[in-house]
Amino acid sequence: MNDNHTMANKAAWEEAFDRRVNAFGEDHAARLLTEDRAFLHPVVWDALEGMKLQGESIGQFCCNNGRELMSVVKHASAREGIGFDLAGNILAQARGIAAAAALPCSFIEGDACQAPEIYHDRFALVLITIGALCWMKELPPFFDKVAACLQSGGHLLIHEAHPITNTFAVPQEEEYDAAEPARMVHSYFRRDPFVDSYGMGYLAGETYESKPFISFSHTLGSIVTAVARSGLRIERLQEYNEDISGETQPLDGKGVPLSYLLLARKV
């Protein structure tokens, strides 16, 4: 992990987890034990239908506390789940949840782009969900690693915020106008990073003066191209006008593309 932005993001995510409120994660083991499909969005569950995952190995890049990965592993009766994430303290919680819910999942700390070679050709599914791609400065090394880790015939499933949402201001930015939340204030083609120090509200329950989070905007074209060039065959790209980040809630259902699902396969 040599990139400065990756080191900075590790520190910012670990700080955010240390400030967590509302007992974040503490009910996840109980929910995994008692609920089927405890986590993940319905469009993801729909997309997983028909994939043969029983007895297979499943990976998640940028897995956070692993709740989504463990939910799929349980639902599909997979052989194992392997989650990759930067944040050591969040992964410690993930390991505790896996033990308490008796799920065969393990968690690897580090930059997902550097996932060790022992995970190559391993996964029948690599899962990537909301809030993952924005931390990658460049997409090709990330998707090249995803492709390397998939077994032949394996699926990549991405469910993410639509890149157009990066052109809107968030409430913490001075350009934000609650009366016009879809006003374009950043170029769709922006390459400069966003450097934000207002914390990670969904964990901390508030804004706070945080260590810097460094994120990047990627156009839909650059995402599709990086997936295709990694050698995966794109099978589906579907856009939705549904807010999945919470940051574009005022636009939910109003005809603006707010999220997407991309499915690709290693042939």
Ligand X SMILES: C[S@@+](CC[C@H](N)C(=O)[O-])C[C@H]1O[C@@H](n2cnc3c(N)ncnc32)[C@H](O)[C@@H]1O
The residues binding ligand X (CB under 6 A) are 6, 9, 13, 62, 64, 84-87, 90, 111-112, 129-132, 135
* 113 vs 263, beta carbon nearer ligand X: 113
Query: In whole angstroms, how close is the CB of 179 to ligand X at the nearest point?
Result: 28
* 68 vs 255, beta carbon nearer ligand X: 68
Query: In whole angstroms, how close is the CB of 40 to ligand X at the nearest point?
Result: 9
* 78 vs 132, beta carbon nearer ligand X: 132
Query: In whole angstroms, how close is the CB of 42 to ligand X at the nearest point?
Result: 15
Amino acid at the residue 2: N
d(CA 267, CA 259): 26
Cα angle: 77, vertex 82, 87; to 5 degrees: 135
d(CA 198, CA 164): 22
d(CA 126, CA 146): 7
* 54 vs 122, beta carbon nearer ligand X: 122
* 124 vs 130, beta carbon nearer ligand X: 130
Query: In whole angstroms, how close is the CB of 89 to ligand X at the nearest point?
Result: 10
| DSSP code per residue over 60-104 | EES-TTSHHHHHHHHHHT-SEEEEEES-HHHHHHHHHHHHHTT--
Amino acid at the residue 125: L
Q: Which two tokens stand for residue 64?
A: 């956070």
Query: In whole angstroms, how close is the CB of 117 to ligand X at the nearest point?
Result: 16
Does an H or E element contain 158, and which?
strand 150-161
A 10 A CB-CB count for 187 gives 11
Closest CA to 235 of 263, 210, 213: 263
Tell me the pairing of strands 57-61 and 80-85: parallel
Buried-state track 112-147, b at ≥16 Cβ within 10 A, e below 16: bbebeeebeebbbbbbbbbbbbbbbbebebbbebbb
* 86 vs 263, beta carbon nearer ligand X: 86
Amino acid at the residue 78: A
Query: In whole angstroms, how close is the CB of 68 to ligand X at the nearest point?
Result: 6
Question: HSE of 186 in the Cβ direction (CA atoms, 13 Å)?
Answer: 23
* 28 vs 266, beta carbon nearer ligand X: 28
